[in-house]
């Protein structure tokens, strides 16, 4: 009886040992979402799981932002916080998703996110959470103000493939580079500007090397949290619920906080010496369509079947 009791206690102790999961983020702590949603998300998951989930967090200093999808899909890492444009070469689905119409509630109610989840499961990933911003999630910083016509004719602007159609509408040439290279590229004049979410330039101190904020901002931003599918499937139902429930909590926090943070960021950048400038009326009139249609067209070139299917699904839901 004593031996059986000791064995039971040993088995219980082993079950209580935390499983360690490795997390990759596409940004360092200077990106505002890290301290606002990712760090507290990780802490809450660890606490709510009562020790069964332990997460070790790494950023782009460990694996470059554009190379993170495959290590998570293969199981070398278990969680990923990223942007669709960072793995456009593997799948353009999340890049195209930012061209979907409707507001956040309509997008979530439509079932499009469940469609996206099924798509990524084919790649070995589970969509755990999908924090989105309100419309107006992206903007452009410039070393010099727009030209007399309100455009960026002849400028070289850093961005991911998502921005290509907007750049071309403005007369600019797109230049792709990882986030960690933006400051130096602006400083040395390798690029004339950089596109980025409207929050973040302050923490990266880009106001030191770019003096103009181009408005209006455009598009909505979605930064998904993925988990390696095999690791997800091994979780208990309780652990899965913890992850999805806490994910929903921080989706709501990010959407609510983003507009406030964007307004505060603009004010802070102006206080640092930047000037908010407007693109021309002709460019403003084309901006929304250039963004949305550009995302669909770009993504269609990469994976016509998948994008046609997702677009048809979105349209069938009124988006």
pLDDT tens over the chain, length 319 residues: 444 334 344 444 444 456 899 999 999 998 989 999 999 999 999 999 998 999 999 999 999 999 999 999 999 999 999 999 999 999 999 999 999 988 889 999 999 999 999 999 999 999 999 999 999 999 999 999 999 999 999 999 999 888 999 999 999 999 998 888 999 999 999 999 999 999 999 999 999 999 999 999 999 999 999 999 999 999 999 999 999 999 999 999 999 999 899 999 999 999 999 999 999 999 999 999 999 999 999 999 999 999 999 999 999 998 8
Q: Do both 108 and 171 map to the same domain? A: no
Range(s) of the domain holding residue 163: 138-219+262-300
- Please check whether residues 175 and 271 belong to one and the same domain: yes
List, in order, residues 6 or more apart from 230 with CB less than 8 Å away: 75, 124
126 and 230, same domain (yes or no): yes
Q: What is the CATH number of the domain that holds 164?
A: 3.40.190.170
Identify whether the C-beta of residue 64 lies closer than 8 Å to the C-beta of residue 58.
no
Residue 10's pLDDT is what? 40
**Residue 316 located in a structural domain:** no
Do residues 166 and 294 lie in contact, with contact meaning Cβ atoms separated by under 8 Å? yes
Judgement on whether residues 227 and 187 belong to the same structural domain of the protein: no
The contacts of residue 156 (CB under 8 Å, 6+ apart) are: 172, 173, 175, 190, 191, 192, 193
The answer to whether position 88 is within a domain reads: yes
- Is 117 in the same domain as 233? yes
Residues whose CB is less than 8 angstroms from the CB of residue 305 and which lie 6 or more positions away in sequence, other chains included: none
Residue 25 belongs to some domain of the structure: yes
pLDDT at 16 (0 to 100): 47
Same domain, 227 and 130: yes
Residue 103 lies in a domain: yes
**How distant, in Å, are the alpha carbons of 2, 101, 144, 306, 319 from that of 314?**
62, 8, 39, 12, 5
Residues 157, 234: one domain? no
| Nearest one of 186, 185, 194 to 214, comparing CA atoms | 194
Q: Is the residue at 308 inside a domain?
A: no
Q: Based on the domain organization, do 72 and 56 belong to the same domain?
A: yes
Do 172 and 289 have their domain in common? yes
Residues 201 and 278 both lie in one domain: yes
Judge whether 164 and 232 are in contact, CB under 8 Å.
no
Residue 6 resides in a domain: no
113 & 161 share domain = no
101 and 231 assigned to the same domain: yes
Q: Which strands sit side by side in the sheet containing 79-81, from one edge to the other?
A: 53-58, 19-25, 79-81, 225-228, 125-129
Lookup result for tokens 């009562």: 50
- Report the percentage of the chain scoring pLDDT > 90: 87
**Contact between residue 149 and residue 184 where contact means Cβ atoms under 8 Å apart:** no
Q: In terms of Cα–Cα distance, which of 276, 318, 314 is closest to 114?
A: 314
Number of domains in the chain: 2
What pLDDT is recorded for position 18?
67
> Do the Cβ atoms of 317 and 111 come closer than 8 Å?
yes
Pairing of strands 138-142, 193-197: antiparallel
The reported pLDDT for the residue numbered 278 is 96
β partners of residue 132: 222
* Residue 314, domain member (yes or no): no
The answer to whether residue 7 sits within a structural domain is no
């Amino acid at each position: 009886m004593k031996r059986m009791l000791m064995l039971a206690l040993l088995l219980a102790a082993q079950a209580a040992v935390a499983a360690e999961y490795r997390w990759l983020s596409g940004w360092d702590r200077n990106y505002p979402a890290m301290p606002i949603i990712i760090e507290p998300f990780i802490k809450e998951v660890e606490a709510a799981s009562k020790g069964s989930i332990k997460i070790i967090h790494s950023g782009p200093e460990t694996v470059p932002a554009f190379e993170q999808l495959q290590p998570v899909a293969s199981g070398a890492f278990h969680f990923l916080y990223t942007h669709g444009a960072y793995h456009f070469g593997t799948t353009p689905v999340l890049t195209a998703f930012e061209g979907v119409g409707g507001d956040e509630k309509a997008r979530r109610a439509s079932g499009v996110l469940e469609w996206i989840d099924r798509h990524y499961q084919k790649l070995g990933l589970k969509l755990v959470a999908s924090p989105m911003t309100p419309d107006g999630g992206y903007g452009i910083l410039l070393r010099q103000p727009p030209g007399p016509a309100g455009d960026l004719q002849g400028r070289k602007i850093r961005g991911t493939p998502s921005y290509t159609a907007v750049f071309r509408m403005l007369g600019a040439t797109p230049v792709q580079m990882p986030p960690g290279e933006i400051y130096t590229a602006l400083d040395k004049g390798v690029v004339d500007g950089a596109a980025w979410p409207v929050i973040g330039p302050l923490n990266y101190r880009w106001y030191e090397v770019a003096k103009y904020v181009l408005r209006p901002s455009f598009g909505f931003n979605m930064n998904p949290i993925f988990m390696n599918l095999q690791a997800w499937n091994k979780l208990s139902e309780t652990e899965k619920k913890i992850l999805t429930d806490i994910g929903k909590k921080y989706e709501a926090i990010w959407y609510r906080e983003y507009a406030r943070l964007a307004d505060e960021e603009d004010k802070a950048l102006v206080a640092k010496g930047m000037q908010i400038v407007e693109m021309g009326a002709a460019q403003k009139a084309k901006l929304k369509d250039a963004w949305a249609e550009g995302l669909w067209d770009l993504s269609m070139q990469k994976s016509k079947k998948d994008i046609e299917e997702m677009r048809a699904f979105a349209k069938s839901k009124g988006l």
